[in-house]
Every structure is written in C-alpha cells, then in structure tokens.
Structure 1
Amino acid sequence: MNLQDLVYFNRLAETLNFTATAEHFYVSQPSISMTLKRLEKELDTVLIDRKRIHKNLRLTETGEILLKYSTHILKSVEQAKEEIHDLKNQVVYFGFLPTIGGHFMAQLMPHLKKFSASMKLIEEESSDVMLDLVRKGQVPLAIIGSDRLTFAEDNLLQIPLKKEEMALWASPDNPLAKKDSVTAAEIQDELFISLAQGYTHQRIFKQWMKDNHIEQPQTLYTKEIQTALSIASSTHMLAFMSDILVEDRPRLVRIPIENAPQFYISLIVNKKLSNTTYFQTEFNEVLIELAESYGKELHKK
C-alpha cells in the first residue's frame, strides 16, 4: 500500500465520482480505477459499491474504516513533512495573540533579529486556547493574558510582563463618560458588551459581576474585540475591557471602576519539552531574558 493510493482513495471517497477524482489530480480515469482495485485486492474487501443497481457509488463499511484511518495517516504525514521542513530550516515557534502580543512585538523584535526570518507565529485570539496549546507542548512559549497572577503548574515557567486594571469603555456621548470613576452599584442596570466564552475577559467579567452581586446583567457577548469596541463607540453600551485591547480608539472614553479586577499578562513557557531543537532552545532563552528584563523595568515603575 502506498501513500498516493490513499490520497486517490480519500478523494474518491469524498466525491464518489471517478471522473471528478481523475480531473482533480490530472490523471486518467483508469488510473483511479486501478488504484481502487489495487487497494481492494490488498485488503481483500470491497471498499466502494459500484453495482449498477445503485444510481450512485457508495462507500461500504470497510470503505468507511479505511477512510477514517487513511485520513489520519495522510494528516500525520503532512504534519511530519512540515516539522521536518521546519527543523531543516531552523524554524522557531512563538505563540502570538494579535491583541496582546502585538503590543510587545515592537519592543521585542529589535532583539530577535537573528530569529526573525525563522520565526513562525502560532496565532490564536483566545488566551485560554493558547495556554492549553502551551500546556500540551504544541506551542513552546507564548504571551497570554490571564485572571490569575500565577500558574501553579510544574511544567510551566511564567514571567509576568504587565498588570492592568479592567475598565469600562464608553462613547463620549454616554453620560457615564463624564465621571471620574464608577462603582458596581452605579452601573448594575446598564447594558454591557463583553468578549464571549473562551476569553479571559469573559471569565473576569462574570466573576466581577458575581462579587458585586449584580445578577443577570444585560450583556451582549461577542468573539470579536473590534465588534465590541465598535458597538460601544456607537451606542450607550459599556465595553468591559483591559487597556491593552483598546489602544488608539479616539471614539471611546475610559471609565475607571472602583475596586476593579486585574488582568495579568505573562510570557508562559513549557519547560518540560523533550524534543525542542537547539535553535528553538536558544530562541526561548533569549525571549525569557528579554521578558525578565521587561518585567523588572515595569516593576520599578
């Protein structure tokens, strides 16, 4: 059994059409037919029912089984090719959230010139998703936001970078925009917009509401940060956000919250990866040193 046979079979199983499959790979239709016969002979089974009593081709039970495993095999082969390519080209991986990581990249990149051509940014919008990738070793290190000051996990190294107080953001036309600060009691009847489940902000928002005994707040949830900010700037809804997500938004006014919850930004490193390349290890060490230096400067301030 060769990989190309599995590639052809997967496409045929998807289209259930010999002509369409052949055209997709720019080969003759008999080539696809021979591939199927070869697989069926090797596995001693019928994979696709081609009886004329059926108007269309259909996968048999054994065909379904082969499709399940061949899909996994081909995906694994592609991943192996990518990792081998990255190893040969000394690629380094860095978990990157555009909304948070972008704030630090301008300061980090001048010190990472050696790695700039080899850096592969693994992008996610959610810190929770990115943290899980680092935990599993799928991403070696990343800058994330969290509602926790520290992570008590043996396999993680955490370097604090920044701490912010959560705030409310409103249109200049909102009456609350003229206040120096607000209490939870003052805004319990307001309309809010917050990031949806899976985002750290949503968890902080819900906990803050619970701590301040605000029951069933009228809240619109969205997965898009820009959507939340656009709605807040054009309506009387209040966006619950950290400062780092609301840079350069002239149509929004920051309203401090008394006893505001904290938002912590850290570099998180999986320190127990066993298959890290020398180049990745060097990149990690440089980034850790930069993060520690950056964190110390912020602490002095």
Structure 2
Amino acid sequence: MKIRDLEYFIELVKDKNFSVVADHFQVSQPTITMAINRLEEEYGTTFFIRDHVHHQITVTKVGQQYAQHVRMILRELAIARREIDHAKLNKIRFGLPPIIGNYYFPPLTPRLLRSNLIDKLEVTEEGSENLLQMLLRGELDMALLGSASPLQQPELSVKEFAQYPFHIIMSRDHQLAKKQDLQFADLKGQSFILPDTDFIHEKAFRRMCRLAHIRPKVIYRTNDIHIIKNMVAENLGISFLTELAITANDRLVDLALADPQQPVFHLSLAARHNEILSPAKEKLWELILDYGGKKN
C-alpha cells in the first residue's frame, strides 16, 4: 500500500470526480484510477460505484468507513513528519496562554535556566482553546492550558495541578467595594470590563450569568489584562478574573464570590498521548509539575 494512494483516495471521496483529483495532484487520470483499483483489490471490496452514463461516482458505505480510518492515518503521518523534522532541532514547542504566561510562569524561569531548558523553548502565546487545537494537530509538543472544567481529551496526556477561583475586582471607590458576602446577583446592572471571548473566562462568566439570571452589560473587552485593571482602577467598570491574574500590587478591591457551585480556573499541563518525550521534554514536564505541586 502506498501513502500516495491513500491521499488520492481521500481526495476522491471529497471531490467524487477522477478528473478533478488528477488535476489537483497534477497527474493523469489513469494514475488515480489505478491507485483506487489497487486499494479495492487489496481489500477485496468496492469503495466507489461508477456511473459511466451520468459520469458520477458514489462512495459506498465501506468506502465511507475506510475514509474515516484513512483520514486518521494521514493525519498521524503528517504529525509524525513534523515531530521528526522538529526533533532534529532539539527544541521544545511550548504553548503558553497570556494569563498563565504573565502570572504563573515567570517564577519558573530561574529553574529553567538552571536546568538548561530555557534556550530549548519555542514559545507560542495563544488562548488556551487555540493552543489545545494546535496540540491536537501536532503543532506543539507541550502546553500549559487553562480550562473552566477538568480537561478531558483522549488524545492527550493531561495533568491538572492547580485550581483558582474567579473573583470580582473593582475600584476602591466603587459602591460595592466594602460589601460582605458578595453574590453574582448583586452585580446586576453593573458595567463589566472583560477579557476577550477567546479567554477561558468567557465560559465561566456566562455560566455565572445564567445561574444568577443576569443579562450582563459588557462595555469593553480586551486581551490585555493590564488595560482591564487600569480601567477598573479608574472606576469605569468592574471585572471578572481568575485569582491567578490578581496581585497585591493592583490597587484594586478583590472580592471572592459567595455563590455556591462556582466554576474555577483549572490549570493543566498537556502533551500528545502517543508522543515519546525526549529527555529535555521529560525534564520540562517534571519540572513544571514539581513546581506546581510545591506552589499549591
């Protein structure tokens, strides 16, 4: 079986036209026909029904089933090719969301330097959702990920090592700044300044709004947490942030919520389940988990 035959097959399933597939790969139509014939002969079945009168082809049920396996095979081969090419560089493609990168990762830097790992890192800064997809596609070796619920992906090895509640931050001059036992329902009518919707905060925020039966008034969104804090400090609105992103130097009032069944910010380390980690990757994996265990 040739890999190219599988590529021809999956393209034919999509286009259902031998000429179009031949043009796509810049080969002759008989080349595509012979490749499909080889596959059908190897399995002793028919993947396509040819209607020569109407110049149409139909994918059989067996062909549809086989296509699911072929897509997975081609995807894994592409990932393997990227991993092999990248292994030659002795680098670690590492995903780091902005909040985790700004507020959790910096204290790890001295350990990375002492372990001779800092120069091996190729860091990609994206939201956790984007990094998760990159990890699944084999474009990253490892990533720190935030999630609003425990991260469950059968294709990944995931180690959750920290949880942080979501808090409300506001100006010291805000009317609710001294309120005891603040509940989310108390925030009805307030102006919110929030992280962009691709942050994990969005899922948690929407959940709290549903539970409190609030239609939120969001006046501004940004991916820059420092801008959010500065606007909140000027009493332009309040915000909903994970405790991880709140520090004692923020000049803000930080209030925990008294609501039951609150979502939390889950912090996890993840890598592809079937990737055999190099010594450097193993060292990074263990270092991060060791730091997380001691910190929490």
TM-score category of the 2 structures, normalised to the smaller one: 0.5 to 0.7
Structure 1 unaligned spans of 5+:
1-79
Cα RMSD over matched residues? 2.6
- Aligned to 1:99, the other structure's residue is in SS state helix
* TM-aligned CA deviation for residue 88 of structure 1: 4.4
What is the CA–CA distance in structure 1 between the aligned matches of 2:106 and 2:218, rounded to whole Å? Answer: 36
* TM-aligned CA deviation for residue 132 of structure 1: 1.4
- Aligned to 1:132, the other structure's residue is in SS state helix
Match of 2:280 among 280, 283, 286: 283
For the structure 1 residues 136 and 89, does the alpha-carbon distance in structure 2 shift closer, same or farther, using more than 3 Å as the test?
A: closer
Determine the structure 2 residue equivalent to 1:50. none
* TM-aligned CA deviation for residue 295 of structure 1: 4.3
- Aligned to 2:105, the other structure's residue is in SS state helix
Determine the structure 2 residue equivalent to 1:270. 272
Q: How many residues get paired?
A: 211
Q: Are the equivalent residues in 1 in contact too, given 2:165–2:263 (CA < 8 A)?
A: yes
- Aligned to 2:182, the other structure's residue is in SS state coil
Residues 31-59 of structure 1 show CA distances to partners (whole Å, capped at 9, x for unaligned) of xxxxxxxxxxxxxxxxxxxxxxxxxxxxx
* TM-aligned CA deviation for residue 263 of structure 1: 0.8
Q: Are the equivalent residues in 2 in contact too, given 1:169–1:232 (CA < 8 A)?
A: yes
What is the CA–CA distance in structure 2 between the aligned matches of 1:282 and 1:289, rounded to whole Å? Answer: 11
Structure 2 unaligned spans of 5+:
1-80
Determine the structure 2 residue equivalent to 1:148. 149
- Aligned to 2:119, the other structure's residue is in SS state coil
Q: Are the equivalent residues in 1 in contact too, given 2:170–2:237 (CA < 8 A)?
A: yes
Determine the structure 2 residue equivalent to 1:137. 138
Give the TM-score of the pair, scaled to structure 1: 0.63
What is the CA–CA distance in structure 2 between the aligned matches of 1:100 and 1:180, rounded to whole Å? Answer: 29
- Aligned to 1:283, the other structure's residue is in SS state helix
Determine the structure 2 residue equivalent to 1:215. 215
- Aligned to 1:133, the other structure's residue is in SS state helix
* TM-aligned CA deviation for residue 199 of structure 1: 1.2
What is the CA–CA distance in structure 2 between the aligned matches of 1:263 and 1:178, rounded to whole Å? Answer: 25
What is the CA–CA distance in structure 1 between the aligned matches of 2:216 and 2:118, rounded to whole Å? Answer: 47
* TM-aligned CA deviation for residue 109 of structure 1: 4.3
What is the CA–CA distance in structure 2 between the aligned matches of 1:245 and 1:165, rounded to whole Å? Answer: 11
Residues 114-144 of structure 1 show CA distances to partners (whole Å, capped at 9, x for unaligned) of 22222211222x1111111112111111112
Equivalent residue letter for 2:170: A
